[in-house]
Amino acid sequence: MKKQQSHMIGGLFAAVLATMSLPGSVRAQSADVPYADVAEIPAGWFFQGSDAVERQYAYQIDEQVYGHDISRRNRWYDVEVDKWHIYLPDYFIMKTPVTNDQYAAFVRDTGREAPDISEEDWESLGLIYGYDATRPFAWQNGEPPRGKGNHPVVLVSWRDAQDYAAWLSSKTGIKWRIPEEIYWEKAVRGADGIFYPWGNIYDPLQLNSADRGPFDTVPVGQFEPGPYGLYDGAGQVFEWTATSLQAGYRIVKGGSWDDRGCGVCRPAARHGRPEHMQHILIGFRLMHE
């Protein structure tokens, strides 16, 4: 049944579901359903989290690149799940983060505000970037930034991602959701607990990070896929998960185009961000069972 469903997603999204719309009584005009390529993650055991060896490696590469030990002094990686072996059922997850073009179908169909943020709201977040840094990622007149249709959508909150999942579910009849941290991590790193999707040694040629540039998002799927065929699981943009660290906060994973090193780009790395946050470094992908 799962195999048949996988074929349906690839085939019907492209051929049939792309013409579906919400009922006329709900929407006067409805956008096409965005195509979403998915990977099937097989049922089985996998290693989640990190041990002392992996964390030490992450601190060391951060120190080598940045020339300071802030991540170690602040114990950034000590909050990671202690490495353990856990069994998960099979499931499906998008091979890439949701793109601007895919999100645009949601915006057009629902009349939702396009990804953007006011200067006041941005400054209230207390981030190191000035407001000018957000402008290349902000949408104009409800349309994505020119030339970035196939880039990951950013400036979307966790709540925006949830609403997108609900909308896509209603359009396709498939129950999409933001993945919990553990489902995201297995899909990105595979079953064997390797440090990165490609192995245990950091390689700046394998991801979009600040080690090589271009210091911006790039089209999805430009680098080699991970063990289960997922792209951009390390670098590119952090991704929202459904897992909460505390009330009002959700774990983000994966690192971004702005990170060097890249200890934070390991699938085991984690930190919390407010659900309402709209950030130029955070996007999302969805899963279903």
Q: 């055991």: which residue's tokens?
A: 45
271-274 and 91-94 strand pairing: unpaired
Distance from C-alpha of 142 to C-alpha of 127, rounded to nearest angstrom: 25
- pLDDT at residue 33, as a whole number: 85
Hey, how many other C-beta atoms are within 10 angstroms of the C-beta on 135?
Answer: 12
Give the residue among 10, 4, 6, 2 at the shortest CA–CA distance from 36.
10
**Bigger pLDDT: 183 vs 68:** 183
Chain segment 239-248, per-residue pLDDT in tens: 999 999 899 9
Q: Does the pLDDT value for residue 165 go beyond 80?
A: yes
Asked if 160 and 222 count as a contact pair (C-beta separation under 8 A), the reply is no
Gap between the terminal Cα atoms of the chain: 11
Q: Residue 1 — very low, low, confident or very high, per pLDDT cuts 50/70/90?
A: very low
Chain segment 2-42, per-residue pLDDT in tens: 444 443 344 334 333 333 333 322 222 344 788 889 999 99
CATH 3.40.50.300 fits domain 39-288: no
At 276, the amino acid letter reads H
> DSSP states of the chain as a string?
-HHHHHHHHHHHHHHTGGG----TTT-SS-PPPPP--EEEE-SEEEEESB-HHHHHHHHHHHHHHHSS-HHHHTTGGGGSPBPEEEEE--EEEESSPPBHHHHHHHHHHH-PPPS---HHHHHHTT-SS-GGGGGGGS-BTTBPPTT-TTSBP-S--HHHHHHHHHHHHHHHSS--BPPPHHHHHHHHH-SS--SBTTBSS--GGGSB-TTT--SS---TT-S---TTS--SSSBS-EEE-S--SSTTEEEEES--TT--S-GGGSTT--EEEETT---TTEE---EE-
Q: Does the pLDDT value for residue 278 go beyond 90?
A: yes
Hey, how many other C-beta atoms are within 10 angstroms of the C-beta on 180?
Answer: 15
Asked if 47 and 83 count as a contact pair (C-beta separation under 8 A), the reply is yes
Domain limits of the chain? 39-288
Q: Does the pLDDT value for residue 224 go beyond 80?
A: yes
In this prediction the pTM is: 0.89
> Which positions ≥6 away from 180 have C-beta within 8 Å?
241, 242, 243
Chain segment 38-63, per-residue pLDDT in tens: 999 999 999 999 999 999 999 999 99
Chain segment 82-105, per-residue pLDDT in tens: 999 999 999 999 999 999 999 999
Q: What are phi and psi of 46, to 5 degrees?
A: -150, 160
Angle at Cα 49 formed by Cα 46 and Cα 54, nearest 5°?
115
